[in-house]
Amino acid sequence: MANIVSIVGRPNVGKSTLFNRLIEERKAIMDNQSGVTRDRHYGYAEWNGQHFTVIDTGGYVVGSDDIFEGAIRDQVQLAIEESTVVLFMVDCMSGLTELDKEFANVLRRYKKPVFLVANKAESIERYQSSGEFYELGMGELIYPISSQTGYGTGDLLDEVVKYFDTPGVENPEEGIPRIAIVGRPNVGKSSFLNVLTGTERSIVTNIAGTTRDAIHTPYKAFGREYILIDTAGMRRKAKVKEDIEFYSTIRSVKAVEESDVCIMMLDAENGLEGQDMTLIGQADKAKKGIVIMVNKWDLIEKDSKTADQLKKEMLERLAPMNYMPIIFASVLEKQRIFQVMEKAMEVYENKSRKITTSKLNDVMQEEIKKYPPPAQRGRHINIKYMIQLPTPSPTFVFFCNYPKLIKEPYMRYLENRMREHFDFTGVPITLFFREK
């Protein structure tokens, strides 16, 4: 079991400030691959060699009118259930409130270790005022801290980690495929996510079960784990169509950057549009795995040849980026949606595929012999050998006498032969030519 620490409390006490402080250094490690800061409500933290997941439940309380439905919203309760330790945060600056008391009453129902954390205790006065929170009846100890300056957080964490029975893992997401679902507005992304999240099990916590906030959500399906990157959930309030398109493009680009594999979703009635081509181009450039999902297949009048015909047309249009699988699906009729996920997993495997140098050379030297690089300016070009680099996406270096003289069509020839021999379906591959 993983160690999970959730931060609960009424709005504005400083939950996200503490959350950010706890995951700060880790975030740098997690995000260095994509260079983006993730806007999410759980993160990974470490204290004295103990690793844990932190949940900022404030992230689940959006807007003020729907904070309480009876007591605390479902998602917060689920987070509490999932937690090893709960940090119940109150605010020394504003003092005790009715809302704090309601929170305390709810927390008492759970048999979880609760730490009463009195935040914003930077000054002596406020530190001393924290005594008023004894009234909440949450036990003997109050931890005055300042999320802003970090004061007191070390003492707090010293006590928190005593409740862990495992050192945890450093990076729980490592080696787990990150899959983004992207595409233009209205193609069916939210519907797809709803079906997936309805049938599959979220590992970290069900709090991500609504698509509204979920950004990176670990799931388990087909006996495998993966992380869904959901952009559909973070819909912005945009009034005009152009804005909707604009925000959806930004979100898609961000999701692609953070993913290993993206599921590029299209509307069968519209087919491949300019924007889709742009996004696919971006994914290709960023060396991400790609699966094309043509949704709303139910709306198409078709016979036995329609799918093949359409696939052929699409691949022609995509050339030279025509290496990705295309699946015709209907979220509405739950047709082939699991194949889409399975394909995404296969593409992930293909992306990690490593070919040994000897195998690579055996196969490719044979192909080069069949069709050697055409001589340029009277020079005979000799490709001596090739290797695969240990990069996150398949990258190969061909060593030859005149690397600059190898032209685009011959590179295509080599790439196509590589794809024939090794399964790189859905994956951009990169070839470099170096002098030797």
Largest CA distance in the chain: 91
Residues 385-424 that bind ligand GDP (CB under 6 A): none
Cα→Cα distances 379→179, 403, 436, Å: 46, 12, 15
Q: Does the annotation list 234 as a binding residue?
A: yes
Cis peptide before 320 (omega within 30 of 0): yes
Q: Is 232 annotated as a binding residue?
A: yes
Q: Which stretch, 116-124, 351-359, 380-388, 415-423, contacts ligand GDP (CB under 6 A)?
A: 116-124
- In the complex, least distance from residue 15 CB atom to ligand GDP, rounded to whole angstroms: 3
> Token digits for 435?
């002098």
Nearest to 424 by CA among 350, 359, 363, 356: 350
Report if residue 146 touches ligand GDP, rule: CB under 6 A.
yes
Q: How far apart are CA 27 and CA 279, in angstroms?
A: 26
At 273, which amino acid appears? E
If the CB atoms of residues 103 and 433 are measured against ligand GDP, the closer one turns out to be: 103
Instruction: Compose the 54-83 pattern: x for residues touching ligand GDP by CB under 6 A, - for all others.
Output: ----x-------------------------
> According to the binding rule CB under 6 A, does residue 233 interact with ligand GDP?
no
* Residues in Cβ contact with 225 at an 8 Å cutoff, skipping those fewer than 6 apart: 176, 203, 218, 219
Residue 43 is a binding residue for ligand GDP (CB under 6 A): no
Residue 376 to residues 343, 368, 381: CA-CA distances in angstroms? Answer: 41, 16, 8
| Under 8 Å between Cβ of 329 and 297 | yes
CA 2: distance to chain centroid? 19
Among 4, 5, 8, 15, binds ligand GDP (CB under 6 A): 15
Does 330 help bind ligand GDP (rule: CB under 6 A)?
Answer: yes
> Following DSSP, what letter does each residue of 175-242 receive, concatenated?
TSPEEEEEESTTSSHHHHHHHHHHHSEESS-GGGGSTTT-SEEEEEETTEEEEEEESTTS-----SHH
Report helix angle 357-370 to 408-421, nearest 10.
Answer: 130
- Residue 245 sits in the site that holds ligand GDP (CB under 6 A): no
Interface residue with ligand GDP, options 43, 144, 188, 218 (CB under 6 A): 188
Binding status of residue 12 toward ligand GDP by CB under 6 A: yes
The answer to whether the annotation marks 152 as part of a ligand binding site is no
Does residue 240 have a known ligand-binding role? Answer: no
Per CB under 6 A, 11 contacts ligand GDP: yes
Q: How far is the CB of 353 from ligand GDP (least distance, A)?
A: 31
Scanning residues 252 to 291, which ones bind ligand GDP (CB under 6 A)?
none
Distance CA 125, CA 118 (A): 13
CB atoms within 10 A of CB 235: 15
- Binding of ligand GDP by 296 (CB under 6 A): yes
Query: Measured at the alpha carbon of residue 231, what is the angle toward residues 226 and 232, in degrees to the nearest 5?
Result: 110
> Does position 357 bind ligand GDP by CB under 6 A?
no
CA distance 35 to 55: 22
Give the one residue of 298, 342, 349, 367 binding ligand GDP; rule: CB under 6 A: 298
Check binding of 231 to ligand GDP (CB under 6 A).
no
**What is the size of the binding site for ligand GDP (CB under 6 A)?**
31
Interface residue with ligand GDP among 3, 6, 17, 388 (CB under 6 A) is 17
Of 135-143, 327-335, 346-354, 360-368: span binding ligand GDP (CB under 6 A): 327-335
Find the part of the chain contacting ligand GDP (CB under 6 A) among 72-80, 306-314, 324-332, 357-365: 324-332
Residues that bind ligand GDP (CB under 6 A): 9, 11-17, 58, 119-120, 122, 146-148, 183, 185-191, 232, 295-296, 298-299, 330-332
